[in-house]
Amino acid sequence: MIIVMKQNSTKEELKEVVRRIGELGYHPHIIHGETRNVIGAVGDERGKSVLQSLDSLPGVESVVPILKPYKLASREVSPLPSIIDVGRGVQIGGDKVVVMAGPCAVESCEQILATARAVKEAGATVLRGGAFKPRTSPYSFQGLEEEGLKMLAEAREETGLPIVTEVVNPKDAEMVGCYADILQVGARNVQNFPLLKALGRLGKPVLLKRGMSTTIQEFLMSAEYILSEGNRQVILCERGVRTFETATRNTLDISAVPVLKEQTHLPVIIDPSHATGHARLVPAMCFAAIAAGADGLIVEVHPEPEKATSDGAQSLRPEAFSVMMTKLREFAKVTGRGL
Ligand code: PEP
Ligand code: MN
């Protein structure tokens, strides 16, 4: 249920509503709006009608049901777009299209530093790199784990770029959170509910990737797991879904951007690398993402793609990334946004 407060309601009245929501066994989530405050009361759907009694409290304008199954993620509760501050002056969901770039996996100090310098020079504002790699084969490179996180932190110190890196196991959430500015949940873990809850409690920005066969509603329900634990800092990422097509690694669902934008206030970004699986197709999908209204991109870049331990074929060389960024900057301007 959404409890809409009157425009001239007082802080004390809001506090009393919050207290009563808790007393009734629901979790209050206050959303401060420009003209009025609303409180989302979430919890067991079966007994929600008891919340209707709150409409007689002082300062309450109305009590209305949230129609969508995802409550806190929905535009019904928060009509305005959310802007996520990831530190070091970077905000996602605002006027600028944020470009995150870096290798699929952190392989060495030299590799991550060289990539970080190059992507920064080209205009990226977040550095990506996997230290825990959820690979299809148990025999493939699994990542440098904490050593890799230390290398990422070093690259951040040198370049000032905040870092996004994947966490696979809920047990590692706190440790990864000590290094990362944004914690990535990979496509394979989109419905790993213990992991989502752990990240909800951690309270750091989360980049949640859509699973390869996750509907948009299921995707938003996964976001809801994080939000319902009290963490509002969720960034959604469309990275291609599995279809009959084999010319590309996945099929980029570009329409997911405007659909998500209708349904949720959370920022939406696109991963053109995992979506296509081919470096040569990445620029076209970046243009498409910006045209569709995405808030950002996450792009794989490797100084020597032919030597990459993972995803070399879809990784851009720094020079190609730089050329693409110059063109994207012009293009973003046409759409009324900066890069
Ligand atoms: C990645 O970002 O390197 C990755 C493994 O992506 P996804 O989870 O989308 O496959
Ligand atoms: Mn990858």
Alpha helices by DSSP H, listed for the chain, are 11-23, 109-122, 146-159, 173-179, 193-202, 216-227, 256-263, 272-276, 282-292, 318-334
Domains in the chain, start-ordered, CATH in brackets? 2-64 (3.30.70.1140), 84-334 (3.20.20.70)
Q: Which atom of ligand 1 is nearest to the CA of 184?
A: 2
Per-residue pLDDT at 20: 96
Distance in Å, CA 54 to ligand 1 centroid: 45
Provide the pLDDT confidence category of residue 118 given band limits of 50, 70 and 90.
very high
Average pLDDT of the segment spanning 245-266 = 98
* pLDDT at residue 253 greater than cutoff 90: yes
Instruction: Express each pLDDT in 304-331 by its tens digit.
Output: 999 999 999 999 999 999 999 999 999 9
Q: Which residue of 213, 239, 248, 301 sits with most ligand 1 atoms within 8 Å of its CB, as the best mutation to test the pocket?
A: 239
| Nearest CA residue ID for atom 4, ligand 1 | 186
Q: Residue 298: nearest ligand to its CA? A: 1
User: Of 125, 120, 60, which Cα lies nearest the Cα of 89?
Assistant: 125
Structure tokens at 152: 């990422």
Cβ(102)–Cβ(245) under 8 Å?
no
Instruction: State percent of the chain over pLDDT 70.
Output: 100
Cβ(28)–Cβ(41) under 8 Å?
yes
> Rounded mean pLDDT of the chain?
96
Average pLDDT of the segment spanning 60-70 = 93
* pLDDT at residue 47 greater than cutoff 90: no
Per-residue pLDDT at 244: 98
Per-residue pLDDT at 33: 84
Instruction: Express each pLDDT in 271-287 by its tens digit.
Output: 999 999 999 999 999 99
| Nearest CA residue ID for atom 5, ligand 1 | 186
| Nearest CA residue ID for atom 6, ligand 1 | 186
Residue 188: half-sphere exposure toward Cβ, Cα within 13 Å = 10
Provide the pLDDT confidence category of residue 301 given band limits of 50, 70 and 90.
very high
Per-residue pLDDT at 265: 97
Q: Which atom of ligand 1 is nearest to the CA of 237?
A: 9
Instruction: Express each pLDDT in 124-140 by its tens digit.
Output: 999 999 999 999 999 99
Distance in Å, CA 211 to ligand 1 centroid: 10
Q: Which atom of ligand 1 is nearest to the CA of 188?
A: 8
Q: Residue 188: nearest ligand to its CA? A: 1
Q: Which atom of ligand 1 is nearest to the CA of 105?
A: 3
Residue 167 identity: V
Per-residue pLDDT at 317: 98
Per-residue pLDDT at 159: 98
Q: Rounded to whole angstroms, how far apart are CA atoms 17 and 1?
A: 13
Instruction: Express each pLDDT in 81-97 by its tens digit.
Output: 999 999 999 999 999 99
Which residues make Cβ contacts (< 8 Å) with residue 282, sequence separation at least 6? 272, 273, 276, 299, 314, 316, 324
Cβ(250)–Cβ(218) under 8 Å?
no
Distance in Å, CA 302 to ligand 2 centroid: 11
Structure tokens at 151: 């290398």
Within 6 A (CB) of ligand 1 lie 104, 130, 186-188, 209, 239, 271, 274
Per-residue pLDDT at 48: 82
